[in-house]
Structures are given as structure tokens and as C-alpha cells.
Structure 1
């Protein structure tokens, strides 16, 4: 092999290693933020419902500060190389989606759209070839949301909030119905979706117990 070719190849390899390290540094910072947010939000299971807004307000600034990291990643990743590097931050992105979706549910009782998640994380449309929120990561984050809400349904009752499991049940069943209409090709995503049936069953058992004891009024069924 020509010595000049070898030198060029080595230079390219060195450049890749340097870029990987820079991206890794940003991902490490994103990991720290997502771990902090998850740790704080875990307190919802032992916090009275009237104190939840204060808890959420303490997490929002951390979530918004993730915009600095996504901006840094967008400046580091070369054009059209999103799929080459995305696996480095995929887990962190899914956790960020989970955090954003949990905050949205706790604040409004609604499902956060993918576009809103991208907006909160400061991800711009023109970055889609470098940094984006893939649909699969969004769906993984929503599955994690259901996992967390099944825990909250149980713990809300122990905190004396007997209506929360009913709200959670309506929300989760609606979300599950939406998932059921998707053509899920990804094996990991499909397995995680299938596991939601256990979360729904757990929530239904809590709702049944609450209704049996007449601790909260059941929602009125609206005819289709």
C-alpha cells in the first residue's frame, strides 16, 4: 500500500476517534441530566398530589438545559451522518422523551406529541440529518411512561389519591389502542409493547379495588 494512502487512512481514523470522544463527552453530560431528572421524578410516588407541581417545576429547567447538548451534538455530527452516530445517544434520548412525556401527563393529563418533544429538547428541523428524535426512540419513551404510570397507580392509592388510578387507566388504555394500530417492525420495540399488557392489568386491578371499595367515582362511559 502506498505510504501516502496509509497516512491518509491514519488521519481519517484519528479524526473519527477524536469525533467519537467529543460526542461521547456530550452524551455523558446528557446522561447526567437524564439520571438527575429521573431521580427527582421518582419522588412522585411518595409526594402528595398537591405538591407534584413544585416537583415538576424543579425538573423543567434541567430538561430545557438539554438544549445546549443537542445543539453541541448538531455542531459536531457531520452532515448526513445521523444514523452513523445516533446509537451513542439513543438511550439518553429515550429517557429524555420519557421525562418530557411524564411531565406533560402530570401537568395536563395529555400525551405529548413527538414534535413537542423535539421542541423542548431544542432540536431543529434542519438538523434532521445530524440530530433528531427518531420515532422509535419516541415510542420507547412512551412505553417507559406507561411502566412508570402503572407504579404510580398503586402508589397514588397509598397516598390517598383514589382518582389518579382511574385517570391513569383511561390514559394508558387510549395510548395502548394507538400503539395497537401501529405496524411495529422492530423486535425490541414489539416486545416492549407486548409487555404493556401486564402494566394495564396491574392498573385495572387497582381501579377495580378502588371502585369495589367505592373510594372514587367511576368515569361516565361516553357512547361511541
Structure 2
């Protein structure tokens, strides 16, 4: 090979290696933020309803700061190379989606749309060819939300909040119905979606037990317990 060609190849390899390290530094920063948020969110399982707003309030600034990290990634990624690099940060992004979705549920008992989630995370439309929230990553984050809500349904009863499992049940069933109408071709996503049936069963068992023991007012239904979306 020509010596000049070899030098060009070496330069290309060095530049790509440098870029990968810079991207990894940003992802490490994002990982720290998601670990902090998830660690705080874990406290919801031992926190009484009246203290949930304060807990959510402590997480919001960290969630908002994720936009700075995504902005830094957008500056690093060359134009039209989103799909080349996205696998490096997709796990952290899905965790951030889960956090944003959980905060929305805890605050408004509602579901964040894909666009609203991207906005919450500070991901701008003009970055689409470099950093974006894909439908796949969004759906993975929502599945993580259902996984956590099935656990919350059990723990809220332990804390004496007997109506929350009914709200969770109505919310999760509505979300599952939406998932069922999607044409899921990704094998990993499909398997995770199928696993939601176990979460729903777990929640239904809690609702049945609460109802059987008459721990909620007579005539209370799941639909009547979920806040308007």
C-alpha cells in the first residue's frame, strides 16, 4: 500500500478513536445522572403518598440536566451518523425515558407521548440526524415503567394506600392495549412486551386481594380510580 494511503487510514482510525472516547465521556456523565435518578425513584416504594411530590421535586433538576448531556452528544456526533453511534447510549437513554415516564405517572397519572418525552429530556428536533429518541427506545422505557409499577402496586398496599393498585391496574391495562395494536418486529422488544402479561397478572392479584378484603370503598372500580389523562 502507498505510504500516504496508510497515513490517511491511520489518521481516520485515530480520529474515530478520539471521537469514541469523547462520546463515552458524555455517556458516563449520563449514566451518573440516570443512576442518581433511579436511586431516588426507588424510594417511592417506602414513601407515603403525601411525601411523593417532594421526592419527585428532588429528581426533576437532575432529569432536566440530561438535556445538557444530550446537547454535548449532538455537538460531537457528525451529521447523519445517528444510527452509527446510537447503540452506545441507548441503554442510558431508555433509563432516562423510564424516569421521565414514572415522574409523569406519579404527578398526573398520565402517559408522556414520544414527543413530550424527547422534550422533557431536552432532545431537540434539529438533532434528528445525530441524537434522537427513537420509537424503539421510547417503548423500552415504557416497558420499564410497567415493570416498576407492578412492584409499586404491591408496596403501596404495605404502606396502607389501598386505592393506588386500582389506579395502576387501569393505567397499565390501557398501556398494554396500546402496545397490543403495534406491529412489533424487533425480537427483543417483542419478548419484553410479552413479559408484561406477568406484570399485569401480578397487579391483578393485588387488586383482587384488596377488593376481596374490602379495603377500598364499595363500588370503586379501576376506571373510577385513574385520573383523567
Instruction: Return the TM-score normalized by structure 1.
Output: 0.98
Q: Find the residue that maps to 2:161 and give its secondary structure.
A: coil
Give the 3 Å change call, closer, same or farther, for CA 208–127 of structure 1 in structure 2. Answer: same
Cα shift readout 1:54-75 (whole Å, capped 9, x = no counterpart): 0000000000001110000000
Residues 1-224 of structure 1: matches in 2 within 5 Å?
Answer: 1-217=1-217, 218-219=220-221
User: Could you say what secondary structure the match of 2:150 adopts?
Assistant: helix
Q: Could you say what secondary structure the match of 2:184 adopts?
A: coil
Superposition deviation, residue 121 in structure 1: 1.3
User: Which segments of structure 1 move beyond 6 Å, counting only runs of 4 or more?
Assistant: none
SS of equivalent residue, structure 2 residue 123: coil
Q: Quick one: distance in 2 between partners of 1:143 and 1:216? A: 28
Superposed CA deviations along residues 67-121 of structure 1, whole A, max 9, x for unmatched, are 1100000000000000000000000000000000000000000011111111111
* Counterpart-to-counterpart distance in 1, 2:112 and 2:38: 17
Deviation at 1:16, TM superposition (A): 0.1
Helix, strand or coil for the counterpart of 1:52? Answer: helix
Q: How far, CA to CA, are the matches of 2:181 and 2:121 in structure 1? A: 27
Structure 2, gaps ≥5 residues long: 225-229
Structure 1: stretches of 5+ with no match in the other structure: none
Pick closer, same or farther for the CA change 1:221–1:144 going to 2, 3 Å. Answer: closer
Q: Quote the offset at 1:219 in angstroms.
A: 1.6
**Separation in 1, partners of 2:22, 2:161:** 46
Secondary structure at 1:66 match in 2: helix
Q: Secondary structure at the match of 1:201?
A: helix
Structure 2 CA distance for aligned equivalents of residues 63 and 122 of structure 1 = 9
Distance in 2 separating the partners of 1:135 and 1:65 = 22
- Checking the alignment, whether the CA contact within 8 Å between 2:71 and 2:123 is kept in structure 1 is yes
Taking only aligned residues, the RMSD between alpha carbons, in angstroms, comes to 1.0
CA contact 2:94–2:138 (8 Å) conserved in 1:
yes
Q: Is the partner of 2:56 in helix, strand or coil?
A: helix
Question: Is the alpha carbon distance of 1:40 and 1:17 closer, same or farther for their aligned partners in structure 2, counting shifts above 3 Å?
Answer: same
